[in-house]
């Protein structure tokens, strides 16, 4: 059976209205997309491992670019980092806002009694990392892309979430390896390429292993360190110049920071624990030059072992401090995790611990090296920070910033909801430009109102067209009051022949 539907087009006006609706819908879509794009803020988090808080002053001549950025942005006196002052615990605290006892990465090397397994800086098994939620996971879970360029934990699938953008897996981990590392310039090119995408990630992390390595080998007062810092400054200016060519540059908020500081020590200043405690009476959970995490072996009791170490504390005249896990001072936030052993031994800065089971080299006496991992309340353990970009105050010196507050701050800038954390946005909010929050909110409100108006206009136009079509299908002519100004001229010549479309 054939059905014939026909209707007459008396003028071109229906087509004009239809075209108008399509155009308005396109505008709505375009403006809405542009509103999302232009309101998006970006965060680039950059770590120079082992960059002490005072290097900017001490090595000013080697750091002209970072000095200028610091002068133009917000630079606190120092960052209060967390115990222990090591690479993995502090880098993970920066991106989670959690103390190590909460996020679980309590040292660079860890033993877990439940897993009955050990963790190293190479471990990417997610079960070790899942107690914390890094900002790239928070960002991805809320519908935004992230990119990680070698930040510790970058290649771990944390909480089941993969990261959108990563470096090639063939490269080594610069915080754990010395071979097959991606050159610094290539890391910058990779990150710049991410920001140059049509849908760039809103959060990007970028990690450099220096000046930590040079500081360890040559100390903090060496020409080698000055040269290393100059190289870092060169890569900084290359980064800034490369990003400045991009449209998104004016919306990138830079946070230059580090995990810990560094202090010189002489190898003659080592404390051999074997002199005070029987090596067979304890088991290492974590062995480090600045701390021991131990428990008793089967040959003794925990209480007896604790007494032996307290005797060692007395005999070293307090150069070491010995704590039961439950009695570690609250300021360290280092008691509430099963990976922290029963007894924790700390050492005074500029001294190092040694034991036959630990194996630290002491065969080169009177040699100066650099070390970290001491109490984070000792000044030389503090890292630096520079915050620069549209969200941050210019030429501002905010005093002291807590490393845990960076996570809620970054979440706030990215307009994402933070996971549970130990940080405080209120404590760090003062680094934001006074008008930034209001300006940002006004932009979003204006864009929202504009979008609503356009959508309502689209709906109204659609209704008008639908009524016109409906009336035509009903065989009724469409008439307008020609006394109205907008209809002073005919829509089409009166003598033009009617058009006819037949749809089968």
Specify the pLDDT at position 447.
Answer: 52
Tell me how far apart the alpha carbons of residues 2 and 261 are, in angstroms, rounded to a whole number: 85
3-state DSSP: the chain helix, strand, coil percent, rounded to 5?
A: 40, 20, 40
Specify the pLDDT at position 429.
Answer: 97
Q: Tens-digit pLDDT profile for the chain (504 aa)?
A: 444 333 344 444 544 544 454 445 454 444 444 444 567 899 999 999 999 999 999 999 999 999 999 999 999 999 999 999 999 999 999 999 999 999 999 999 999 999 999 999 999 999 999 999 999 999 999 999 999 999 999 999 999 999 999 999 999 999 999 999 999 999 999 999 999 999 999 999 999 999 999 999 999 999 999 999 999 999 999 999 999 999 999 999 999 999 999 999 998 898 999 999 999 999 999 988 899 999 999 999 999 999 999 999 999 999 999 999 999 999 999 999 999 999 999 999 999 999 988 876 555 678 999 999 999 999 999 999 999 999 999 999 999 999 999 999 999 999 999 999 999 999 999 999 987 654 444 444 555 555 556 667 657 766 665 566 556 555 555 444 444 333 333 333 334 343 332 232
Tell me how far apart the alpha carbons of residues 358 and 274 are, in angstroms, rounded to a whole number: 10
* Cα torsion 226, 227, 232, 238: sign: positive
Note if the bond before 483 is cis, omega within 30 degrees. no
Q: Which DSSP category does 183 fall into?
A: P
Q: Which residue in 205, 197, 208, 189 sits closest to 139, CA to CA?
A: 205
Specify the pLDDT at position 151.
Answer: 99
Specify the pLDDT at position 453.
Answer: 64
Q: How far is CA 462 from the centre of its chain?
A: 45
Residue 66 bridge partners (DSSP)? none
Tokens found for residue 249? 């540059």
Q: Are strands 400-402 and 78-80 parallel, antiparallel or unpaired?
A: parallel
Q: Which residue in 223, 230, 203, 254 sits closest to 46, CA to CA?
A: 254
- Catalytic positions are 87
Tokens found for residue 68? 């200028």
Q: What residues contact 8, with CB distance under 8 A and at least 6 apart?
A: 472, 498, 499, 500
Tokens found for residue 30? 């375009």
Relative orientation angle of helices 184-195 and 223-244, to the nearest 10 degrees: 20
Largest interatomic CA distance in the chain: 114
Q: What residues contact 168, with CB distance under 8 A and at least 6 apart?
A: 182
Write phi, then psi, for 275 (nearest 5 degrees). -70, -20
Domains of the chain (ranges, CATH numbers): 42-102+122-262+382-435 (3.40.720.10), 270-371 (3.30.1360.180)
**Half-sphere exposure at residue 328, Cβ-oriented, CA atoms within 13 angstroms:** 21
Q: What residues contact 229, with CB distance under 8 A and at least 6 apart?
A: 55, 59, 62, 63, 211
Burial class (CB in 10 A: 0-12, 13-18, 19+), 316: middle
- Rg value, the chain, Cα: 32
For residues 360 and 267, is the Cβ–Cβ distance under 8 A? no
Tell me how far apart the alpha carbons of residues 43 and 262 are, in angstroms, rounded to a whole number: 27
Helix spans in 179-276 (H): 184-195, 212-218, 223-244
Tell me how far apart the alpha carbons of residues 443 and 430 are, in angstroms, rounded to a whole number: 21
pLDDT in tens, 435-451: 765 444 444 455 555 55
Note if the bond before 84 is cis, omega within 30 degrees. yes
Instruction: Give ∠ CA 301-307-312 in degrees, rounded to 5.
Output: 130
Tokens found for residue 384? 């630096």
Residue 378 three-state SS = coil
Q: Which DSSP category does 182 fall into?
A: P
For residues 257 and 67, is the Cβ–Cβ distance under 8 A? no
Q: What residues contact 1, with CB distance under 8 A and at least 6 apart?
A: none
Q: Are strands 282-287 and 146-149 parallel, antiparallel or unpaired?
A: unpaired
Write phi, then psi, for 30 (nearest 5 degrees). -65, -45
Write phi, then psi, for 295 (nearest 5 degrees). -140, 170
Residue 356 three-state SS = coil
Q: Are strands 203-208 and 42-48 parallel, antiparallel or unpaired?
A: parallel
Tell me how far apart the alpha carbons of residues 367 and 438 are, in angstroms, rounded to a whole number: 56
What SS3 string covers 286-342?
Answer: EECCCEEEEEECCCCCHHHHHHHHHHHHHHCCCCEEEEEHHHCCHHHCCCCCCCCCC
What SS3 string covers 54-99?
Answer: CHHHHCHHHCHHHHHHHHHCECCCEEECCCCCCHHHHHHHHHHCCC
Write phi, then psi, for 78 (nearest 5 degrees). -165, 170
Specify the pLDDT at position 365.
Answer: 74
* Cα torsion 37, 40, 41, 46: sign: negative
For residues 386 and 256, is the Cβ–Cβ distance under 8 A? yes
């Amino acid at each position: 059976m054939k059905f014939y539907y026909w209707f007459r087009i008396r003028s071109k006006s229906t087509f004009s209205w239809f075209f108008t609706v399509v155009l308005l819908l396109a505008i709505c879509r375009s403006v809405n997309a542009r509103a999302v794009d232009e309101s998006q803020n970006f965060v680039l988090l950059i770590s120079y491992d082992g960059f002490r808080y005072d290097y900017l002053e001490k090595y000013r001549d080697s750091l002209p670019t970072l000095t200028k950025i610091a002068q133009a942005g917000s630079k606190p006196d120092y960052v209060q980092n967390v115990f222990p002052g090591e690479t993995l615990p502090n880098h993970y605290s920066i991106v989670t806002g959690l103390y190590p006892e909460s996020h679980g990465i309590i040292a660079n090397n860890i033993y877990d009694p439940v897993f009955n397994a050990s963790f190293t800086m190479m471990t990417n098994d997610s079960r070790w990392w899942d107690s914390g939620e890094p900002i790239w996971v928070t960002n991805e879970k809320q519908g935004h892309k992230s990119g990680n360029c070698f930040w510790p934990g970058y290649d771990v699938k944390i909480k089941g979430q993969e990261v959108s953008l990563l470096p090639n897996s063939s490269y080594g981990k610069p915080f754990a390896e010395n071979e097959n590392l991606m050159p610094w310039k290539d890391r910058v090119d990779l990150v710049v390429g991410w920001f140059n995408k049509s849908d760039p990630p809103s959060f990007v992390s970028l990690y450099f292993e220096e000046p930590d390595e040079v500081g360890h080998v040559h100390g903090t007062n060496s020409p080698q360190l000055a040269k290393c810092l100059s190289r870092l400054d060169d890569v900084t200016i290359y980064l800034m110049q490369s990003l400045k060519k991009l449209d998104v540059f004016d919306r990138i908020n830079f946070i230059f920071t580090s995990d810990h500081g560094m202090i010189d020590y002489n190898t003659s200043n080592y404390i051999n624990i074997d002199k005070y405690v029987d090596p067979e009476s304890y088991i290492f959970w974590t062995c480090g030059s600045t701390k021991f995490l131990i428990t008793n072996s089967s040959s003794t009791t925990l209480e007896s072992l604790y007494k032996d170490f307290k005797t060692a504390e007395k005999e070293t005249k307090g150069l070491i401090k010995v704590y039961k896990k439950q009695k570690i001072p609250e300021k360290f936030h280092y008691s509430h995790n099963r990976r922290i052993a029963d007894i924790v031994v700390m050492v005074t800065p500029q001294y190092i611990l040694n034991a036959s089971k630990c194996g630290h080299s002491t065969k080169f006496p009177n040699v100066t090296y650099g070390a970290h991992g001491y109490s984070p309340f000792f000044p030389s353990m503090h890292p630096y920070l520079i915050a620069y970009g549209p969200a941050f105050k210019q030429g501002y010196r905010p005093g002291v910033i807590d490393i845990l507050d960076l996570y809620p701050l970054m979440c706030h800038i990215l307009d994402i909801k933070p996971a549970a954390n130990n940080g405080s946005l209120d404590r760090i909010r003062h680094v934001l430009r006074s008008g930034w929050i209001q300006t940002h909110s006004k932009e979003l409100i204006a864009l929202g109102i504009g979008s609503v108006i356009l959508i309502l206009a689209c709906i109204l136009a659609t209704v008008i067209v639908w009524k016109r079509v409906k009336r035509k299908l009903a065989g009724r002519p469409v008439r307008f009051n020609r006394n109205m100004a907008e209809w002073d001229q005919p829509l089409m010549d009166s003598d033009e022949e009617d058009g006819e479309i037949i749809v089968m």
